[in-house]
Amino acid sequence: MLLTGAVAGIAGMKLADELKEPAKKAFGWLFEKGKNKYDEHKLDKALNNLSDKIIKVTKVKTIYKGDDSIDLQGFYVPTRVEGINTSVNFVTDISDKSIVLEGTVGQGKSIFMRYLTVQEANQGQRIPLFYELRRLDENDTLTNALSKQINNWITEFEITDFDRAAKTGSLVLFLDGFDEVPHNKVRKLLNEIEGWCERYPKMQLIISSRPEADIQHSNYLKVFKLSEYRFYEQSLLIDKLVEERESNSLLKQAIKDSNMEIQELLQTPLMVTLFVMNYRGSLEIPTNQHEFYKNLFTILISRHDKTKPGFKRESNSGLNELELQEVFEEFCFITFSMDILVFDDSKAIEVIKECLNNQNIRENPRMVLYDLSKNVCLILKDGLDYTFIHKSIQEFYYASFIHNQPGDHPRFCVTAI
């Protein structure tokens, strides 16, 4: 722990030094005592605070590690962007204009945004600000929210200073998750962003979103799509996740030899991670979708407890593993029958409530949804909605539900919801 803290401290000092010149350009007047003279002590303190904030951007929780936050460099695989033929190490490798990065569920949009933020800081030419748009308060503006963020490390900074800093061209904003902005706030936020593009042409904006969000229709930003994984990226991610040489080689060879059914599954970092977790949990290499999914529910629900002998985590809903899986199977049956792959919160709760009623279970549907999306992770919150991590998840558990019905009393009717 001491060593980790020392390494982080060294990294923070190096980062603070790299950011000194762009900080002077963007905020120099805040540290002036007199003409062309800076209060170096205040500047250094602000830079140390900023470097701490940027280092925290690299700490993330993943489905693979569960409860533990880890440094993204430990598992990040270079993301390819459609239409860009070079390796993307900095956002300027994509464009020097304001852009939207578009990706589907499990494709690593947020990880890519965090990576680019830290890379921008290490380059030492501009001050990167990373902000999760889902954190924007109901009646707040983005200008005010970012001003508060800057004020956290420069206490002299006020919202009236934002205009001056934005015009310098020394800020680059990484705004993560436009699709997570509530519908009633989208138009206001989009107007503010487009206003920035007009008033501050030197300030680059990088905005992440899933497909078909309103931001993609703006004339002020060009859309770039994240590319699907090829074997090269799959192999690099396995290198990050699996240190044992024999298992590492076995998994890579299995992907090479796999049929189209498996290859179509492993096109995102999330699905490759599940492929690795599947092998670790069952010590079997899945050769088709049925084998991929047959033990996955058990592996995912128990992954937090593998390093704790004798410990078994209670679900938030109070359901045991079998009960939770049966609810999920019926959930897949109902949503598949209704031709719904993406659903909002209210629809998810209604369907879960229907499943609980059918199975005579009196538990809180909200807690069941939490278990399915946060603990099992076979459905994930994607923006404002929930969606299956892959459409084949829904198909497999739909079929499993039908298969498990008593022969004389199949329950194939769906109550209108």
Q: What angle do CA 67, 71, 72 make, to 5 degrees?
A: 100
Residues of the chain above pLDDT 70, percent: 90
Q: What is the pLDDT, as a whole number, of residue 220?
A: 97
How much is the pTM? Answer: 0.85
> In this structure, are residues 280 and 303 in contact, taking their beta carbons and an 8 Å threshold?
no
> In this structure, are residues 51 and 16 in contact, taking their beta carbons and an 8 Å threshold?
yes
* Conformation bin of residue 310: beta by default, left when phi > 0, alpha when psi is -120 to 50: left
> In this structure, are residues 210 and 387 in contact, taking their beta carbons and an 8 Å threshold?
no
Condensed to tens digits (0 to 9), the pLDDT of residues 9-63 reads 546 678 888 899 999 999 988 877 555 555 788 888 889 999 999 999 998 887 7
How do 385-388 and 379-382 pair as beta strands?
antiparallel
Q: Would you mind telling me the total number of residues written for the chain in this entry?
A: 417
* 180 or 100, higher pLDDT: 100
pLDDT at 81 over 50: yes
Could you give the 3-state DSSP secondary structure of residue 296? helix
pLDDT at 233 over 90: yes
Q: What is the pLDDT, as a whole number, of residue 397?
A: 94
Q: What is the pLDDT, as a whole number, of residue 306?
A: 46
Q: What is the mean pLDDT of residues 363-392?
A: 89
Question: Among the listed ranges 110-119, 274-283, 303-312, 331-340, which one has the minimum average pLDDT value?
Answer: 303-312
Q: What is the pLDDT, as a whole number, of residue 33?
A: 56
pLDDT at 263 over 80: yes
Give the C-alpha distances (Å, rounded to integers) separating 26 from 19, 69, 336. Answer: 11, 32, 53
What is the C-alpha separation between 326 and 59, in angstroms, rounded?
Answer: 35
* Conformation bin of residue 411: beta by default, left when phi > 0, alpha when psi is -120 to 50: beta
pLDDT band at 414 (very low <50, low <70, confident <90, very high): very low
Could you give the 3-state DSSP secondary structure of residue 285? coil
Q: What is the pLDDT, as a whole number, of residue 275?
A: 93
Q: Provide the H-helix boundaries in 215-259.
A: 231-241, 245-257
pLDDT at 241 over 70: yes
Burial pattern 13-40, b for ≥16 Cβ within 10 A else e, equals eebbebbeebbbbbbbebbeeeeeebee
Per the prediction, the chain carries an average pLDDT of: 87
pLDDT band at 67 (very low <50, low <70, confident <90, very high): low
- Cβ count near 203 (within 10 Å): 21
Q: What is the pLDDT, as a whole number, of residue 36?
A: 53
Give the C-alpha distances (Å, rounded to integers) separating 396 from 271, 287, 288, 391. Answer: 15, 15, 11, 9
pLDDT at 248 over 90: yes
pLDDT band at 7 (very low <50, low <70, confident <90, very high): very low
Residue with tokens 């179509």, as numbered in its chain:
264
Residue 107 carries which DSSP code? S
Q: What is the mean pLDDT of residues 235-259?
A: 93
Nearest one of 212, 214, 232, 136 to 175, comparing CA atoms = 136
Largest CA distance in the chain: 89
pLDDT at 407 over 50: yes
Condensed to tens digits (0 to 9), the pLDDT of residues 297-354 reads 888 887 644 443 443 455 788 899 899 999 999 999 999 999 999 999 999 999 999 9
Q: Determine phi and psi for 6, rounding to 5 degrees.
A: -65, -40
Nearest one of 8, 27, 30 to 19, comparing CA atoms = 27
pLDDT at 286 over 80: yes
